[in-house]
Amino acid sequence: MTGAWTAMQRVFEERDRQDFDEVRIAGLAELAARVRELSELVVLTRADQSEVAVVAREVELLTRRLAEAGRGIPPGAQVGEGGIVRQLGSPVTGALNPLAPPIEISVSPDGTARSEFTLGVLYEGPPGFVHGGVSAMVLDHLSGVAASANGTPGMTAGLDLRYRRPTPLGVPLSAEAKAVRVEGRKTFVESRILGPDGRVTAEATAVFVMPTR
């Protein structure tokens, strides 16, 4: 039976054949950014009912225009030595995904993956604070990048989260993750999100397992 890793490689190879140059990516990223703004205003608008109905109709027409050139499969993931290096449709970092915040991640020479980002109203859980599932998503992904940077990429097998204090919405947050131990196919990664005051709001230990080929 084909393993998960081989199946994923096949998907990636298929998508690699798609025609995505940097100019096209920039254009689509601009579109995604505008849709993100629109989504936020859907939550925040005070427009009256008739105006909302008109806008809904206009958005429907715009959607139909894009559907005429729909292609059925999501944008590709670029794969490097350490696993995925860029995934344009990622719900966390994908510049082409309007649902993604999106967050940008850098990796320092010691293998620490870091990010600074702000999460707006679309990610609200408790009033005024970030949804716990969104924090988990960010830490899961950041930890995945740290596992890859360690040269031991894998699938998330476990994510043990502790929510220390509420994570505030609409203010600059930072997050970091680092691989701390490797045992066979398993890589253990520790991560955390910090509020603007530098205090930890959420922290996690994740286990990544390299799937069988």
Ligand X SMILES: CCCCCCCCCCCC(=O)SCCNC(=O)CCNC(=O)[C@H](O)C(C)(C)COP(=O)(O)OP(=O)(O)OC[C@H]1O[C@@H](n2cnc3c(N)ncnc32)[C@H](O)[C@@H]1OP(=O)(O)O
The residues of the shown chain that bind ligand X, judged by CB under 6 A, are 4, 83-85, 140-141, 144-145, 148, 155-158, 184-186, 207, 209, 211-212
Nearer Cβ to ligand X (45/106)? 106
Structure tokens at 198: 């530098």
Nearer Cβ to ligand X (12/38)? 12
Give me the residue label for tokens 């997050």: 175
Nearer Cβ to ligand X (25/84)? 84
For 184, other C-beta atoms within 10 Å of its C-beta total: 8
Separation between Cα atoms, residue 74 and residue 157, nearest integer Å: 24
Closest distance to ligand X from the beta carbon of 154 (Å): 7
Helix (H) or strand (E) holding 32: helix 22-44
Closest distance to ligand X from the beta carbon of 1 (Å): 11
Burial class (CB in 10 A: 0-12, 13-18, 19+), 110: exposed
Nearer Cβ to ligand X (12/170)? 12
Closest distance to ligand X from the beta carbon of 83 (Å): 5
